[in-house]
Chains A and B, each alone.
Chain A
Amino acid sequence: MRHLIASAAVALTALTGSSTLAEGYPERPVMMMVSYGAGGATDFQARIVTMTAGNEDALGMPIAILNKPGAGGRVGWNWFATQADADGYTLAAYNIPHFIAQSVKGGVQYSADSFEPIANWGADPAVFVVAADSPMNSMDDVVNYAKENAGKLTFSGAGLFVGHHIAALQLEQAAGVKMAYIPTKGGGAAAMKAVIAGDVMGGVNNLSDAFRAEQAGNVKILGVFDLERNEFLPDVPTLKEQGYDIDNASVNFRGIMVPKGTPPEVIDKLATVVPEMFKNPRIASKMQAGGSPMHIMTRDEVKEMWAAREETLKELLAGL
């Protein structure tokens, strides 16, 4: 019966305009679409950061995760841009640079303008890994090998036009070498398996996954594709420190967004509540335990970051 009333109320508010919508929002559970499969890093983190949504000081309603995986996230974001209701009850997780790079490349139905960011929860830099028994011990070793064997250094990553691919392109550009980037199907886990098994000579992977693999004694981490060293890996230098001019364009920023056309009152409410929700100490401890770096940003900061990213990526991908 409650659902009946709730849905009648929603129907009514849809008729009378959006101003009444924001007052009681949210009146029912909210859904959040994740465009990667259950068990992936994005899915895992999304489940953690939304687990306190039902608390009174957060949204007061739980957030349910819905996975729509496929084609490096294109399937989910296409759905979100074209078919999701812009009523504030359908959120999505975004991955930067993935969806912006894909929209720059074309062939998808979305761009940065199709979505409204709410808040950012995490930043997972890309790192360069080699197998634990590899003779390479620094990025210089990698680049020197690539210089001597042009196009023969194979290294894996989680697909084309995702953060790993961007990092790979930046590395080739900054070091002035040609290498063989091997995109894998099955995301970062498959790319990591290829490195550990010796199918490829090295790989670009997520810091969080690489950190675990290093702890297990399977890989060596040679460099971080970010502006600063990471708190999880204080001993691993950035690419910049090693003499390659590479910024943080490949860092995988994860956060929450809504479709364009969502009522501004709803966006405002979410934009104030959600970053506070992320600050909950329970979330921080679970994220820390899972080896996932947090990076909370507000709506305005994310907007800026999106715009900056779009510009860099247009430049970087122009040659492809």
Chain B
Amino acid sequence: MEFLYYFADVFTPLSFGLLLLGTIGGLILGATPGLSPTMAVALLIPFTFHLQATQGLILLGAAYTSTVAGGAVSAILLKIPGAPANIATTLDGHTMAQQGKGAKALQLSFLASAVGGIFGVLLLIFLTPLLSQWALAFGPSHLFWLAILGVTVIGSLDSASVVKGLLSGCIGLWLATIGFDDIMGAQRFIFHPSLGGGINIIAALIGLFAIPQVLTMFAKGRQDNDAEVLVVEKHSVRDAMREIMRRPKALGIGTITGSIIGLIPGVGGQIAGLVAYDQTKKFSSEPEKFGKGHSEGVIAAESANNAMVGPSLVPLLTLSIPGSPTAAVLLGGLLIHGIFPGSDLFDNHPDVAWTFINSMLIGQVLMCIFGLYVAGLAARVAQVPQSVMAAIVLGLAVFGSYSVQSSMGDVYVMAALGVMMYFLERFGFSAAPLVLGLILGPIAEANFIQGSMIANATNGMGSYFLSGALNIGLIVVVIASIGYSAWMELRSRRYTSKEEIIG
């Protein structure tokens, strides 16, 4: 309960001002395509040079929580996921916005983010010592199986055809191998100098999601938009709260999956949203509604990716190991003030540690309030005429992908992938499994190689990858996931063939 003593520190005028600044600034930065939470936090580090340690961290903590949630805004309104965490949000969120239910989608996403986020931070407050053991439990073999578990999701994710979903995933896995391989330093598939650095995941996300949408709008031609003026439905916050209460399963699965997966160093944050989305779909009584503007999709994805924020900081705060790129940047913010995370932080600077954690708790609430306040307004973006929208999204895609690391090569890669994806989508391939492959490929490969090097030096491959409770547990889940997908596929096939007979 120590954290309660430090609540007052968050509410001093300067601290609270910084908290507001961090939250609102974070939402705007998060909603800007190309600015991942990591980048946003890195951009704010120089400001903390002039602040005290506590205040600097309040700013960074608030910015971290709200950029993650802010990413949902561009995912829902523009179909440009701000970070890998928001991919799953586009699937149902953007569809809802196109149906004029943007306000509802945004409200649900902010509410779900707040619920997930607060749960995550509470875990951080109460279970840190336990969680740090869990974070360390994942060695190379376990991370490899975890990545494989992610791969099994590929087939069932947002694709009408399992084979084409898997094929899209394979294309993604292959794209991820382009560039210098990280361990050996060998060059692979670099057939253009722009690819020397590999495919930047943020640039790829922008291209794969935003460009097909621009081209789809172009393909509709000079249509008269009087014909289809979209009515943006008003949606009251109270209705949104009621809706979220009615979907406890999505909220629960999202929050718990996000918290557990978010904890695992190096993997968690990126796939938490997608895994939660997939699990919710599998456990839902109406899985066929997913991908067509179903509120459960938004709730699961957004509660998961904010629930991961708190636990993702556990390895940093307790063991001084940054578990994610954003945590690494936060580490810099601490070091600049001479504070070492780890036992030193909680023993000698409890004011800094607890004020930081408290600021994330309050930040979640502020983010939610502010988000709900602007949701109705922001949803009107969907009313922007198609021609204007296409040009704006194209511009944002170019600037966003360039700003990731000021590289023209990233813009070329973004455009090439985007145009390719447009045509592939016309033939039943889809972007979500491809991106999942792109994310999981390097994780699976690096951990497999590292694991096999350790295994060859010690007990041999078989016992390293296949024994131990955690390995076996993960393998069982992998098999269950494949089995479930296969069963669903067979069942739906029976359905469609029946329909065809009737039709």
Contact = CB atoms under 8 A, between A and B. Distances in A.
Asked if the two chains touch in their complex, CB atoms less than 8 Å apart, one says: yes
A interface secondary structure, majority: mixed
Given A185-B446, A185-B450, A159 B342 contact: no
B184 A160 contact: yes
24 contacts: A39-B38, A47-B46, A66-B405, A66-B406, A71-B197, A75-B196, A79-B407, A105-B185, A107-B186, A154-B453, A160-B183, A184-B446, A185-B450, A192-B321, A197-B137, A197-B138, A198-B136, A199-B139, A199-B140, A213-B321, A213-B342, A216-B340, A289-B337, A290-B335
Contacts of B405: 66-68
B463 interface: no
A51 B47 CA distance: 11
Interface string B351-393: 0000000000000000000000000000000000000000000
A38 B329 contact: yes
Interface string B179-194: 1111111110000010
B442 A185 contact: yes
A75 B180 CA distance: 8
Contact of B182 (A66, A78, A185): A185
A151 interface: yes
A72 B453 contact: no
Given A68-B405, A189-B321, A38 B180 contact: no
A74 B330 CA distance: 25
A217 to B, nearest CB: 6
Interface of A: 37-40, 43-44, 47-48, 51, 66-68, 70-72, 74-75, 78-79, 82, 102, 105, 107, 151-154, 159-161, 180, 182-186, 189-190, 192-194, 196-200, 212-213, 215-218, 286, 288-291
A290 B406 CA distance: 28
A289 B405 CA distance: 29
Interface in B32-82: 38-39, 42, 45-46, 49
B454 A180 contact: yes
Nearest to B332: A44
Contacts of B225: none
B83 to A, nearest CB: 14
B419 interface: no
B46 A159 contact: no
B331 interface: yes
Nearest to B456: A180
A196 B183 CA distance: 21
Given A66-B406, A71-B180, A216 B454 contact: no
B197 A102 contact: no
Given A160-B185, A286-B336, A291-B340, 12 more contacts: A38-B329, A39-B325, A68-B405, A71-B180, A75-B179, A160-B183, A180-B456, A180-B457, A189-B321, A199-B140, A212-B342, A290-B338
Nearest to A160: B185
B458 to A, nearest CB: 6
A199 B176 CA distance: 25
Which of A107, A154, A189: most chain B Cβ within 10 A? A189
Contacts of A160: 183-185
B273 interface: no
B197 A68 contact: yes
Contacts of A102: 185
A50 to B, nearest CB: 10
Contacts of A212: 320, 340-342
B342 A217 contact: yes
Contacts of B331: 39, 44
A259 to B, nearest CB: 16
B343 A217 contact: yes
Contacts of B323: 193
B461 interface: no
Contact of A186 (B136, B266, B332): B266
A212 B45 CA distance: 20
Contacts of B450: 182-185
Nearest 5 CB-CB pairings of A with B: A216-B342, A39-B328, A289-B338, A71-B180, A180-B457
A317 to B, nearest CB: 13
